[in-house]
Amino acid sequence: MAWGSSSSSSSSSSNYDVFLSFRGEDTRHAFTGHLYKALHDKGIHTFIDDEKLQRGEQITRALMEAIQDSRVAITVLSQNYASSSFCLDELATILHCHQRKRLLVIPVFYKVDPSDVRHQKGSYAEALEKLETRFQHDPEKLQKWKMALKQVADLSGYHFKEGDGYEFKFIEKIVERVSREINPRTLHVADYPVGLESRVLDVRRLLDAGSDDGVHMIGIHGMGGLGKSTLARAVYNELIIAEKFDGFCFLANVREKSDKKDGLEHLQRILLSEILGEKNISLTSTQQGISIIQSRLKGKKVLLILDDVNTHGQLQAIGRRDWFGPGSKIIITTRDEQLLAYHEVNETYEMKELNQKDALQLLTWNAFKKEKADPTYVEVLHRVVAYASGLPLALEVIGSHLVGKSIEAWESAIKQYKRIPKKEILDVLTVSFDALEEEEQKVFLDIACCLKGWTLTEVEHILPGLYDDCMKHNIGVLVEKSLIKVSWGDGVVNMHDLIQDMGRRIDQQRSSKEPGKRRRLWLTKDIIQVLDDNSGTSEIQMISLDLSLSEKETTIDWNGNAFRKIKNLKILFIRNGTCHMQVISKLHYVIWVPWLKEEVQEAKGSEI
């Protein structure tokens, strides 16, 4: 599979990009020679025979292998092409490879009418008459040559007439077409594509399940950092090599680019330019772009990747199903599953975290640049894998930062990451948070700081005390944007550990430096400080005290005065501790979990 970046000659197993078939006496030192140089200057690996090869009656085995090992054959059909039995045998071999779908054939009618070739008229009729005399004992060969001439004339190609203009401009068109065909802009996928192959196969199965009669759309969704874009690039490379499209385009970073001035028009220009092969496309508005895309691309079979989409407007401007021709394939990557449903994308693929084996391998490759690490690092590698919880982004970032480091440096780094996660990781994850509405952000922070691990029923029962009665909507949005997950079996609300770290980090950054003036208190040291110092304020609405990591039972002894100033406290969670205190504020809920036994009870000025 073509995982990495690729040049024109490396994205296929072919030895040559182009095989040139021509009548040496007609064009070798003129048109074909100029065409060969133009191809060579573009870096297109082109086979051209030497003058000795065409002196024999039959093509050699080496020449036949060169045809078979090429991706494109250009047949320069000149005035005297048919007078050479060698050229006709070569043409028949080329057409045989073409029929087996192994070779693209581009005919060039150089100063000869295509109808003369198709119907064997003019100089082609004269040449074949002479060959009939020479090969009258082999009528099957003659018939094969005539059929090859008819078939090649029926293919889409280029016609240069005498006095038609500059030859170099004509050659430029051919080279541009060949460049598009043999170098279909494959993309760099990943330095270490661990665990990717099976995912590509899964997405290909979804795509192949669709009918060629319509436009097949699929969505790849999941939280940030899982490798959705990486998977899309790998699938894109597979498709442009394996299938025939009229055009293809990978629109990367749609979210980021559309936020800029004239962003959507810029994306529309890229789409039109990539698929039509035209430069300097001018658009005055998004609406004009929509109209032009509809009219210019409606009949074309295209491959389109819309990467990192986050709004309906982006899909409406650059990716509607009815804009493209039958057989088109459109892949959308997004963190927001609801976007796919709104856009009627019925086939979806959810990105999952890497399993432990693949996570360990990805970390090893990034940190040690080889498949296996020194055995002395095994324990610390497993600790990093546990911390990253299968997130490829975290494994790649951490691995790259610890290349060549000692075990002691790894140990120190792990402690640091647990205290302050890497900014490179948090920046990617924070994008999903920034896309939320204000109340949705608050609900997410409540869950990240205090409610991770509670059931959906409990969360929907607890939080309305802080918000209006629209909790189901808020929770639904968080699920759709891949920020939280609700397990099917027990209905537990959960999130990736690094997503939780991101949420708690945001809560710290947005909150006052004084713990007593924060909305949420969830760090044990902050809670103890506020209650010991009696420094709480009316800003505090939620306290979550988790003593589950204590090796022995912890007794907390505060009197009611500790809560007297916390007038707006709505929710108090105490996990794994014995607590003796009098709560005098009006609590909406008290949730007390002594020694893993969960109890939920209403409390209004009650004693616990």
Cβ proximity of 539 and 514 under 8 Å: no
Q: Is 90 a catalytic residue?
A: yes
Token duo for residue 286: 């998004």
Q: For 513, phi and psi rounded to 5 degrees?
A: -70, -20
Q: Note the helical H segments in 402-454.
A: 407-419, 423-434, 438-446
Q: Is 430 exposed, middle or buried (0-12, 13-18, 19+ CB in 10 A)?
A: middle
- Kindly name the residue from 25, 51, 65, 90 that is annotated as catalytic: 90
Q: Which of 329, 366, 361, 293 is nearest to 220 (CA)?
A: 329
Q: How far apart are CA 32 and CA 52, in angstroms?
A: 16
Q: How far apart are CA 160 and CA 170, in angstroms?
A: 7
- Measure Cα distances from 13 to 6, 187, 241 in Å: 12, 17, 11
316, amino acid identity: Q
- Measure Cα distances from 449 to 497, 502, 523, 535, 536 in Å: 11, 10, 9, 21, 18
Question: Dihedral sign, CA of 198, 233, 239, 36?
Answer: negative
Give me the long-range contacts of 164-171 (CB less than 8 A, separation at least 24). 167/31, 167/34, 168/34, 168/38, 171/31, 171/34, 171/35, 171/38
Token duo for residue 83: 């007078």
The H helix count followed by the E strand count for the chain is 25, 19
Q: How far apart are CA 397 and CA 401, in angstroms?
A: 6
Using the CB atoms, write b or e for 442-456: b if 16+ within 10 Å: bbbbbbbbbbbebbb
Using the CB atoms, write b or e for 507-533: b if 16+ within 10 Å: beeebeeebbebbbbbbbebbebbbee
CB atoms within 10 A of CB 427: 11
Instruction: List beta partners, residue 76.
Output: 22, 108
Reduced to 3 states (helix: H, G, I; strand: E, B; else coil), residue 332 is strand
Contacts of 236 (CB under 8 A, 6+ apart): 186, 187, 248, 250, 303, 305, 331
Instruction: List beta partners, residue 543.
Output: 521, 572
Q: Which residues are catalytic?
A: 90
